Amino acid sequence: MYQIGQVNQIQQQDYELPEPPNDSISALEFAPRSSSWNAICAGSWDNTVRIWEVQADRLVPKVMKSLEGIPFDLTWNDSGNKVYLSESSGQVSEWDLESNQLRRVGLHARAARTCHWVGPYLATTSWDKSIRFWDPRAAKELTRMELPDRSYAADVLNDVAVVACGDRSILVYTLRGGPVEQGRMKSPGETNTQVRSVALHQDIDLTSWLIAKTNGMVFDQSMVHRTACIPIRCHRRENSGILDVYAVNEVKVNMVTQHIATVGSDGVFCFWDSQMRSKLLESKVHPQPITKCAISGDGKLFAYALGYDWSKGHEYSDCSIKPHIFLRQFGRNVAA
């Protein structure tokens, strides 16, 4: 039995998805638990979006679609027969998997940074400094609210939405009878660090959110504890007396086990205990940064994508090194 306080570094076999994109992964999501099939969808900087079916004994490429812009984010509908995409062009698209047709359901003035299914509606945020809600059935904007700066990251859970902006603002909205802005605060940590990802999670009766930043840290923040945020030092390590700091590219919560997953520019993924904030598992160092990750709705599958994240600038970009997407299985015990 795994003991809290120890770090499990045992490596198990991870399974690679065949026929990956030609450029780094920009978005990665499993089909929801309510879906009629088990699948995973990935968007890429090569302006494509792809879906693989996860079968009991193999991973099967199913369909690929080319887009006008880069898919910065994606979300599934409840039945798993449609995927919604927020693109660098500002377009918000619906991909009907049954007809394999794309349809525009919304448009931002600048890049659409995030999208989330809030059935039967769609919530998107953008670099045009707005959060908008759409009815995809009618391709109609329902409501729009201004943000103080460009949206860098967002998440939705139940009736709560949280948005991280370029001026370090964190905005919280209640969606019940709304949307209505519930609170506004500053992102914790150094002022010269950016937010890469946010993830809402439920802790008993308290809804809080995890903020992943470029300084190798994740902060746990809530409306109750606005300033006394709990830091998790993730992708930072001492090397001959020098502290190496790597961006946390994404943070996710396993909604079944409540474990936290982080991935970073150091090419490492980690699992954390959400109560103790202690590290449960640390992967080996992969040959490329990990740009994105996803956790299946049943909490049994973890996906992560290797690719260049531009953290070292243009001079370290190598087009001959291709991206990869891997799956691993785990149960309630992350070491399984």
User: Per the domain annotation, does 256 fall within a domain?
Assistant: yes
Sequence-distant (6+) residues with CB within 8 A of 241 are none
Sequence-distant (6+) residues with CB within 8 A of 179 are 123, 131, 133, 143, 145, 161, 173
Cα separation of 26 and 80, whole Å?
Answer: 20
Cα→Cα distances 234→164, 219, 244, 286, 288, Å: 20, 10, 11, 16, 17
Tell me which residue of 249, 255, 254, 253 sits closest to 269, measured CA to CA. 249
The neighbour count for residue 313, using CB atoms within 10 Å, is 7
Q: Tell me the average pLDDT across 43-55.
A: 97
pLDDT digits (tens, 9 = 90+) for 142-160: 999 999 999 999 999 999 9
Residues 221 and 166 placed together within one structural domain of the fold:
no
Residues 25 and 159 placed together within one structural domain of the fold:
yes
Q: Tell me the average pLDDT across 151-176.
A: 96
Share the mean pLDDT of the chain. 91
Predicted pLDDT of residue 315: 81
Residues 265, 285: contact at Cβ < 8 Å? no
User: Per the domain annotation, does 12 fall within a domain?
Assistant: no
Predicted pLDDT of residue 2: 27
Residue 196 token pair: 């890469």
Residue 205 predicted with pLDDT over 80: no
Residues 59, 53: contact at Cβ < 8 Å? yes
Instruction: State the residue range of the domain holding 260.
Output: 187-291
DSSP 8-state secondary structure symbol assigned to residue 8:
B
Cα separation of 336 and 330, whole Å?
Answer: 5
Least confident of 2-11, 78-87, 116-125, 233-242: 2-11
Residue 56 predicted with pLDDT over 60: yes
Residue 58 predicted with pLDDT over 60: yes
Residues 169 and 123 placed together within one structural domain of the fold:
yes
Predicted pLDDT of residue 246: 96
Query: Of 153, 184, 215, which residue sits at a domain end?
Result: 184
Residues 105 and 247 placed together within one structural domain of the fold:
no
Residues 180 and 198 placed together within one structural domain of the fold:
no
C-alpha 305: how far from chain center? 11
Please indicate, yes or no, whether the overall pTM of this predicted structure exceeds 0.85. Answer: yes
| AA identity, residue 209 | W
Tell me which residue of 131, 110, 136 sits closest to 121, measured CA to CA. 136
Whether omega before 61 lies within 30 degrees of 0, making that bond cis, reads: no
Residues 140 and 174 placed together within one structural domain of the fold:
yes
Residues 79 and 165 placed together within one structural domain of the fold:
yes
- The CATH code of the domain that includes 117 is 2.130.10.10
Residue 79 predicted with pLDDT over 70: yes
Residue 297 predicted with pLDDT over 80: yes
Residues 254 and 239 placed together within one structural domain of the fold:
yes
Residue 8 predicted with pLDDT over 50: no
Residues 173, 161: contact at Cβ < 8 Å? yes
User: Per the domain annotation, does 61 fall within a domain?
Assistant: yes
Query: Of 184, 204, 235, which residue sits at a domain end?
Result: 184
User: Per the domain annotation, does 316 fall within a domain?
Assistant: no
Tally of domains in the chain: 2
Higher pLDDT, 310 or 288: 288
- The CATH code of the domain that includes 260 is 2.40.128
Q: Tell me the average pLDDT across 30-47.
A: 97
pLDDT classification of 257: cutoffs 50, 70, 90: very high
Residues 46 and 126 placed together within one structural domain of the fold:
yes
Residue 316 predicted with pLDDT over 80: no
Q: Tell me the average pLDDT across 312-321.
A: 80
Q: Tell me the average pLDDT across 283-311.
A: 95
Residue 9 predicted with pLDDT over 60: no
Residue 336 predicted with pLDDT over 50: no
Residue 72 token pair: 């910065």
Residues 193 and 179 placed together within one structural domain of the fold:
no
pLDDT classification of 192: cutoffs 50, 70, 90: confident
Residues 91 and 196 placed together within one structural domain of the fold:
no
User: Per the domain annotation, does 67 fall within a domain?
Assistant: yes
- What is the percent of the chain with per-residue pLDDT over 90, rounded to a whole number? 79
Residues 212 and 270 placed together within one structural domain of the fold:
yes
User: Per the domain annotation, does 34 fall within a domain?
Assistant: yes
pLDDT digits (tens, 9 = 90+) for 85-132: 999 999 999 999 999 999 999 999 999 999 999 989 999 999 999 999
Query: Of 184, 207, 239, which residue sits at a domain end?
Result: 184
pLDDT classification of 12: cutoffs 50, 70, 90: low
Predicted pLDDT of residue 335: 46
